[in-house]
Chain A
Amino acid sequence: MNQTSETLCLRASVATGRSGYTWVVGQGWGAGLLGLTILLLSGCGTTRQEAEERRVLVDVGMTGQDVVRKLGRPTRVFPLEPAAGVADQTVEVWAYTIKPPPDLGDVADFALNAGALVVFCVATKGRDTGIASLRIRGKARCSFWVGFGPDGRVRGVTNLEETP
């Protein structure tokens, strides 16, 4: 910044009645907070809603092929040993899990948590061992399970569950 622009800055700050430094810092904080808010809002992913939308596509009585056509292949398949003497029972469970990919919200979350950790460290001068219990976590995954009978048709669907 040369002499002329410095003078102009000073004149502008005098004209607005505020210190130029305070004004610039204030604007910076405001923009930072706004940015973080936007990032956080974008990070409030709709994983649960997505999983719910997929879950309601499954109905009792559908075949495995129908389920694959509507939802795609399951994340895991668990075969079960059938209990003797019971005709109506679940013999296979398909697990569907939705893992949200990291997005800008996660970045903001990470930055906030990391900042909090640094502040905590500085405030306690690194003496507090309780900091070890703080963890930076990612978003939870959503899962639901579909049970199939011996005839290969859906016998039941669970509610959504959040898994860490």
Chain B
Amino acid sequence: MSRIAVVAVVLALCSGCFTSRPGAESNRERLQKGMHRDEVFWELGKPKESYPIPGQGDSADLPTERWCYQWYYPTGKTLTVLATAFIGLFFMDFNAYGFEVGFGRDGRILTISEVGPRRR
């Protein structure tokens, strides 16, 4: 039991030390243009935000809905900050990283943006 707790704490600390960018990039690589909305939901879960894009007309090449995905690891970061007596504040990356997925009228992916820092 105590070993499991130690492993959990170490994992949390590690996730706090590292940036969430690689995680976001690996998740982005799981998506491909043409995938259906349901498949995306199955792969990555519920997006942080989703909104329709009004005014796109009848064009089949323009997205009509957008999903925003973001990753941050707040628990790990908080633990790391506490465990390093706030020294972690100097070397940790506190940016949230994510990307946006645009869906067409048929519910399939038309656009996937690049991974980058996002506002939390």
Q: Give the interface of A toward B (CB within 8 A).
A: 60, 78, 80-81, 83, 86, 88-90, 93, 95, 145-149, 154-158
Contacts and interface: CB of A to CB of B under 8 A. Distances in A.
A80 B53 contact: yes
A149 B56 CA distance: 9
B56 A156 contact: yes
Nearest to A154: B55
Given A81-B113, A83-B61, A83-B111, A90 B55 contact: yes
Question: Is the interface on chain B under 10, 10 to 19, 20 to 34, or 35 or more residues?
Answer: 10 to 19
A89 B52 CA distance: 13
Contact of A90 (B54, B61, B111, B113): B54
B54 A157 contact: yes
Contact of B54 (A81, A86, A88, A158): A158
9 contacts: A81-B111, A83-B62, A83-B63, A83-B111, A89-B59, A90-B53, A93-B51, A147-B55, A156-B54
Contacts of B63: 83
Interface string B53-94: 111110101110010000000000000000000000000000
A158 B61 contact: no
Contacts of A156: 54-56
A145 B51 contact: yes
Interface of B: 51-57, 59, 61-63, 66, 111, 113
Contacts of B59: 86, 88-89
Contacts of B62: 83, 86, 89-90
A78 B51 contact: yes
B61 A147 contact: no
A61 to B, nearest CB: 11
Contacts of A148: 55
A155 B111 contact: no
Contacts of B113: 81
Contacts of A93: 51-54, 66
Interface-central residue, A88, A148, A157, by most chain B CB under 10 Å: A88
